[in-house]
Amino acid sequence: MTYCCGMMLERGLVLMSDTRTNSGVDNISIFRKMHHWSMPGERVVAIMTAGNLATTQSVISKLEERNKAPSERHNTVLEAPTMFQVASIVGKLLRETIHERDADNGMTGSGQFTASIIVAGQIKGMEPRIFLIYPEGNFIEAQPDTPFFQIGETKYGRPIILRGYEPDMTFEDAVKLMMVSFDSTIKANLSVGLPLDLLVIEKDKFEPLHERRIEVGDPYFRAISSTWGEALRRAFVSLPDYSFDLPPAAD
Amino acid sequence: MTYCCGMMLERGLVLMSDTRTNSGVDNISIFRKMHHWSMPGERVVAIMTAGNLATTQSVISKLEERNKAPSERHNTVLEAPTMFQVASIVGKLLRETIHERDADNGMTGSGQFTASIIVAGQIKGMEPRIFLIYPEGNFIEAQPDTPFFQIGETKYGRPIILRGYEPDMTFEDAVKLMMVSFDSTIKANLSVGLPLDLLVIEKDKFEPLHERRIEVGDPYFRAISSTWGEALRRAFVSLPDYSFDLPPAAD
């Protein structure tokens, strides 16, 4: 499993992904699920992947044309004129890759080689954008009503984002919110784990503003994890008390 | 979908279930998923069900022997000598019911007619107990290390229970915790909805201490839902702030 989240703020984009992959509980590895490319002053594009690792690694390799000699490679992510076209290209590669693998194994449609991808970034002259790409290759784009996408193990960490997200929040607060969401997920699902990869993309900057790997034992993540438990308990205590004598519903 | 949660406290048991069933998003109904039987002074047994409604209703009917004339019925739940035997009987009925339906449709194993059940209660001379019964008919029992069971849409509402549960909490606090967990789930999953059924079983009382249906518009549930959002935001603000200049992990 995996957990990745991409968030659209007024001031830019915040992306976070875990790095745990597993094939059974006794075969656990660390793999990067977040990749990004930039041409300073012109564009920055990031991709986060969830699902079958062979499929998603293949998509990334094909994007960079690693099947060609280095001198003949063109990075399509850096050449597409719009983020929409980047999303289209990634979607097409994802669909093709899944279908090839499935066909090799006598299956049709999305079988065990399925995956989904978040594409985020900005190209000069246009707004920052986030897309969620399905295994079928089609995709949706984040909008103010739905300003964040999650892939992988999305449920445990969703309620806090629904409650805590504000479009005008600072990057620091958005990172804090992501950390809480990841902490809740990691506590509940063994297949999501540290280290985490963090990427902050400021609007109209066209290169990463902040990039960091949050390692096991990271003091800030540990502080969030321990103080969040205490803060939640205080929040819980502050709620109105239930009474067995409460009147029934008025309407 | 469904959400049911059963919690074991030092002073007894607290159970809550939603009532929404759906077959597609345009075919939504309200059905009771919590049932209980008691012989005052001797035993109280409660059952909560998730999964295929025809399956779970059939299990409840068979438990009460509604296939027989009223004068010939024996309620097995009220006659089994131990809670373990109640769980065994419910598990056997559940497995048989699922397998019958599957076989009628040419399937083997747990197909679309699958379901799971929480059985909770106390019989005089023994401790209160909670069991989680799988579609295969086997079951596990709650213990101090894992003092609560959830069935149905379990993920959204799990983190707050993991953080908030204390074995010595009052019944009122446990109900409050359940309300928060159900509120988070209802906010995230359309297929879980009010009204909710609540049952509190005090240890060595052998009849329900408190039973209530929490209707749409219930003032307490509404208060929890609105103040929890505010309390969560305060909890979030109280966490240490992230800084782009934080040092990397020390270990």
**Which one of B217, B231, B240 has the shortest CB-CB distance to A227?**
B240
β-pair type (B129-133, B139-141): antiparallel
Within a 10 A sphere around the Cβ of A168, how many other Cβ atoms?
A: 8
Superfamily (CATH) of domain B3-48+118-237: Aminohydrolase, N-terminal nucleophile (Ntn) domain (3.60.20.10)
Considering only CA atoms, which of B200, B215, B201, B155 is closest in space to residue B181? B155
Question: What average pLDDT does range B27-56 have in this prediction?
Answer: 96
Phi, psi at A88, each rounded to 5°: -60, -45
Nearest CA in chain A to B199: A244
Q: Any chain B CB within 8 A of the CB of A214? A: yes
Question: Which strands sit side by side in the sheet containing A210-214, from one edge to the other?
Answer: A148-152, A3-9, A12-18, A196-202, A210-214
% of chain A with per-residue pLDDT over 70: 96
Per-residue pLDDT band at B251 (split at 50, 70, 90): very low
Residue type, B96: E
- How wide is the angle at C-alpha B229 spanned by C-alphas B20 and B183, nearest 5°? 15
Instruction: Give chain B positions within 8 Å (CB) of A229.
Output: 163
Are B251 and A210 in contact (CB < 8 Å)? no
Three-class HEC string of chain B: CCEEEEEEECCEEEEEEECEEECCCCCEEECCCEEEEEECCCEEEEEEEEECHHHHHHHHHHHCCCCCCHHHCCCHHHHCCCHHHHHHHHHHHHHHHHHHHHHHCCCCCCCCCCEEEEEEEEECCCCCEEEEECCCCCEEECECCECEEEEECCCCCHHHHHHHCCCCCCHHHHHHHHHHHHHHHHHHCCCCCCCEEEEEEECCCCCEEEEEEECCCCHHHHHHHHHHHHHHHHHHHHCCCCCCCCCCCCC
Closest CA–CA distance from residue B219 to any residue of chain A (Å): 6
Are B159 and A164 in contact (CB < 8 Å)? no
Are A172 and B244 in contact (CB < 8 Å)? yes
CA distance B208 to A25: 42
Over residues B9-26, the pLDDT tens digits come to 999 999 999 999 988 888
β-pair type (A129-133, A139-141): antiparallel
Cα–Cα distance list, A178 to A128, A158, B78, B170 (Å)? 19, 10, 50, 33
Q: Judged by CB atoms within 8 Å, which residues 157-176 of B form the interface with A?
A: 158-160, 162-164, 171-173, 175-176
Considering only CA atoms, which of A174, A172, A180 is closest in space to residue B244? A172
Over residues B93-119, the pLDDT tens digits come to 999 999 988 887 777 665 788 999 999
Cα-based torsion angle of the residue sequence B169, B171, B174, B178 in order, rounded to the nearest 10 degrees: 170
**Which one of B227, B236, B250 has the shortest CB-CB distance to A180?**
B236
**pLDDT averaged over every residue in chain B:** 93
Q: For residue B198, how many C-alpha atoms fall within 13 Å in the half-sphere facing its CB?
A: 26
Per-residue pLDDT band at A248 (split at 50, 70, 90): low
CA distance A166 to B144: 39
Closest CA–CA distance from residue B226 to any residue of chain A (Å): 10
pLDDT of residue B250: 47
Instruction: Give chain A positions within 8 Å (CB) of B175.
Output: 242
Within a 10 A sphere around the Cβ of B25, how many other Cβ atoms?
A: 8
Q: Any chain B CB within 8 A of the CB of A145? A: no
Question: What average pLDDT does range A205-234 have in this prediction?
Answer: 95
Q: Any chain B CB within 8 A of the CB of A240? A: yes
pLDDT at A21 over 60: yes
Sign of the dihedral through C-alpha B15, B21, B24, B25: negative
From A110-119, A229-238, B131-140, the region with the lowest mean pLDDT: A110-119
Q: Any chain B CB within 8 A of the CB of A218? A: yes
% of chain B with per-residue pLDDT over 70: 96
Residue B35 burial (10 A CB sphere; 0-12, 13-18, 19+)? buried
Q: Say yes or no: domain A3-237 is CATH 3.40.50.10540.
A: no
| Sequence-ordered list of residues with C-beta below 8 angstroms from that of A226, at least 6 positions apart, any chain | none
Considering only CA atoms, which of B157, B200, B192 is closest in space to residue B19? B192
Question: What average pLDDT does range A132-150 have in this prediction?
Answer: 97
pLDDT of residue A109: 61
Cα–Cα distance list, B68 to A119, A188, B207 (Å)? 61, 45, 27
Question: What average pLDDT does range B63-76 have in this prediction?
Answer: 89
